[in-house]
Amino acid sequence: MEGFESVISGLFCDDIVEFVNLPHVDSFPKLSSYKRFRVRYDNEDEAGYELIYHIRDGLVLRFFDLQMRRDNQMPFKYEAGYFSFYFTLSGQHMTLKGEGEDFLNTENLCAINYHSEQTTCQDFSKANVRYCVVNIVIKKSLLEAEFFDHIEENAPEILQPIFSEAETSLSHTLAVDVDIRQALQMLLKSNHSGIIRDRFMEAKVTELICLLMTALKQEEQTSDSREVGVRETALLEQVRSSLVEDLSSPPSIDELARRVGIGKANLLELFKQIYGMTLRNYLLQERMESAKTLLLDRSLNINEVGWQLGYEYACNFTTAFKDYYGLTPNAYRKIASAK
């Protein structure tokens, strides 16, 4: 573990018990004896931490920050009657469920899973991959009661077959939008303790579930909206390409609308429909993704990285980066160079 600086270390407190190299399938049952604990992994397979909080009955919060030391395939369990929301903040790993249900967990993706019976799957990771995941586990009855008032129609359509018991399992992936990502980063960089920490954790978990349910409903609205024609799709691809062609000086929305001959309001609506986020948020995402690459170049100082991404002042770039990822550009550069 020498040189491993965990992104969740700020959540470690004196009242959290630590276990060493506890198998991942054995961590959830420990909640019957411990309200919160962490597991330190330092073995031939992986290095890093898993941190678990029992928020209240039927609601659990887990954090993973793991560096793979070799290609490996590890078992993990989906608890019977619980929804599991996996938010991947960085890195990637493959969930192997069989029967054509395997899926890749990648950065900025949320995997939504439910099984009526306890199900063991495999998690496959490549050597040298480091991933950070936030996992919310909530009992079906609790989600139905507190977020949908026991009214099936209040839930996103994709969840309704589970509540009606027409289906016994669910696997779905959803792109993480900017609001969800910022809420996740606020959760990661919190440094509260005692009862304030517990209340903060519960509040952020509630917020994340609300944002996720809203995103699922927005996904439905997008799929139900009018079909976008081939010509419009081609024009919007021109808009997207123009937007990211030069991140230091992207064209304005008015200029983009003039180039493709689409009204400004219609352009913004079509862009969100096709790409799943607002034009402004898409530009922010591209800038932040490029920032991570540029920060690996030690010949560039923070000012130069910011200039290349269209930030006139380094402080504005630093603020934007920290709001998006939860750490400063310098801190990211330090962590990335240690990998």
**C-alpha span between 309 and 339 (Å, rounded):** 24
How many other C-beta atoms lie within 10 A of the C-beta of residue 153?
8
Per-residue model confidence as pLDDT tens digits over 14-36? 888 999 999 988 988 899 899 99
Contact yes or no for 187/134 (Cβ under 8 A): yes
Does residue 213 or residue 106 have the better pLDDT?
Answer: 213
**C-alpha span between 213 and 156 (Å, rounded):** 7
Per-residue model confidence as pLDDT tens digits over 159-212? 999 999 989 999 888 888 889 999 999 998 888 888 999 999 999 999 999 999
Contact yes or no for 130/68 (Cβ under 8 A): yes
Topology of domain 282-339, per CATH? Arc Repressor Mutant, subunit A (1.10.10)
Q: 280: phi > 0 → left, psi -120 to 50 → alpha, else beta; which?
A: alpha
First to last CA, the chain: 12
Per-residue model confidence as pLDDT tens digits over 57-86? 999 999 999 999 998 888 888 899 999 999
**C-alpha span between 89 and 189 (Å, rounded):** 13
Residue 187: both structure tokens together: 């959760």
**C-alpha span between 38 and 62 (Å, rounded):** 9
What is the number of residues in the chain? 339
* CATH 1.50.10.20, applies to 9-224: no
Residue 246: both structure tokens together: 């030069």
Does residue 92 or residue 69 have the better pLDDT?
Answer: 69
Do the domains spanning 9-224 and 282-339 agree at the CATH topology level?
Answer: no
Q: Is the pLDDT of residue 324 over 90?
A: no
Per-residue model confidence as pLDDT tens digits over 140-152? 999 999 999 999 8
Q: What percent of the chain has pLDDT above 70?
A: 94
Domain ranges of the chain: 9-224, 225-276, 282-339
Q: How many helices (H) and strands (E) are present in the chain, helices listed first?
A: 11, 12
Whether the model pTM is above 0.75: no
